[in-house]
Chains A and B, each alone.
Chain A
Amino acid sequence: MTLPKEYGGHGRSALERYVVVEETLAAGAPVGYHWVADRQSGLMVARLGTEAQKKSIIPAITSGEACFAIGMSEPNSGSDLASVKSKAEKVADGWLLNGTKIWTSNAHNATHMIALFRTDFSPDAKHKGLSQFLIDMKTVRGITPRPIRDLTGRGHFNEVSFVDVLLPPDALLGREGDGWNQVTAELAYERSGPERYLSCFLLLSELIKVLDGKASPSALAKIGAELAWAATLRNMSLSVAGMLNEGKDPSLQASVVKDLGCHFEQRLPGLAQELVAMEPTLSDSGIDYQQVLGNLMLLAPSFSLRGGTLEILRGIIARGLGVR
């Protein structure tokens, strides 16, 4: 919704988007198909893309047709992006990609991917030798997403293999070798939004409904403490939104929001079980509360993976505080 009007976007502000995201997540709207495109990929194309890339991709995003995945983490290097080994070699017809990405959300549904590949293979290149590519998942050959079944039995994350994938020369997004800086800026959008404290909000709301005014004082105190956490995380997240709005770099603050938000969201299913003596279930035999609890108990452990693992975030926080 923040994409430029000249390419079919709505030109709304990041703060307007913040309000819409809060409302859609609190209500539990199924936004996964367009989520990544709206949150970050569309902005990346608008900021770094060529005129041709903008004209071809942004209208697909604003019509809700495009579903984006982000190819960053890799097997054996996890979220440590400086260790990316997947290669993009410059060849006569464009770029030849080989390698594997992992923990790629929604890759099996994606129409497009923005992926980070190594384009400089000298041993000391590390951060400097990375580039981003805009990939049309439906037309190029050699890309195979394999869903990784999680505890719910669904395959949200994927392992994605690239075998001799030939991309046209204009698939490069931004500048060759500038991938590290581009990705770092992109991650600030990913780590601090309302999704970091609203992923389990429906459970909190169903829990309050099921208690129906009959909660003990100690149960009320525990729910109150979690609501205070939610309010504090919201203020921290808004602060990051304000910094982004003013063109500042909030990487450190965004990492703190993601880390604390993840802990908050992952402990809510446990609290619900402690306060209400009802078994979680995925079966229709349970009431809504039991089904929501059953789903989130199985889903919440994966929250520490998406948007960078907690270990990586803490490394960023340590560096930001000058202790690493």
Chain B
Amino acid sequence: MNLDTLRFPPYELPASLAPLRAEVREFLKTELGAYRPVVRSNTWDGTDAAFSRSSVPVAGWA
């Protein structure tokens, strides 16, 4: 067995991405207001073409 192949080099997201995170959070707060928690619990299993059509073209937030 060669455990040397199983390495996870530490990697941190650049601090410069923090404003993007804040911007997305704000966007989602508005966009998801009408979705109940049980619907939101489907996340990437949840298919809502209207949400995709309205959110994807906005700054590429897919």
Contacts and interface: CB of A to CB of B under 8 A. Distances in A.
Interface in A3-19: 3, 9-10, 12, 15-19
A35 B48 CA distance: 11
A109 interface: yes
A292 interface: yes
Determine chain A's interface SS by DSSP, over half rule: helix
Contacts of B40: 27-30, 202
Contacts of A252: 5-6
Nearest to A8: B57
20 contacts: A1-B60, A19-B17, A27-B29, A28-B46, A30-B39, A30-B40, A31-B51, A31-B52, A32-B43, A32-B47, A64-B49, A199-B45, A200-B41, A242-B11, A252-B5, A288-B36, A288-B37, A292-B37, A299-B42, A321-B3
A33 interface: yes
Interface string A23-40: 111011111111101100
A111 to B, nearest CB: 10
A27 B28 CA distance: 7
Interface of A: 1-3, 9-10, 12, 15-20, 22-25, 27-35, 37-38, 61-65, 67, 106, 109, 156, 195, 198-200, 202-203, 206, 235-236, 238-243, 252-253, 256, 282, 288-289, 291-292, 294-296, 299, 320-323
Of B10, B21, B38, chain A has the most CB atoms within 10 Å of the CB of B38
Given A12-B60, A31-B43, A31-B46, A24 B24 contact: yes
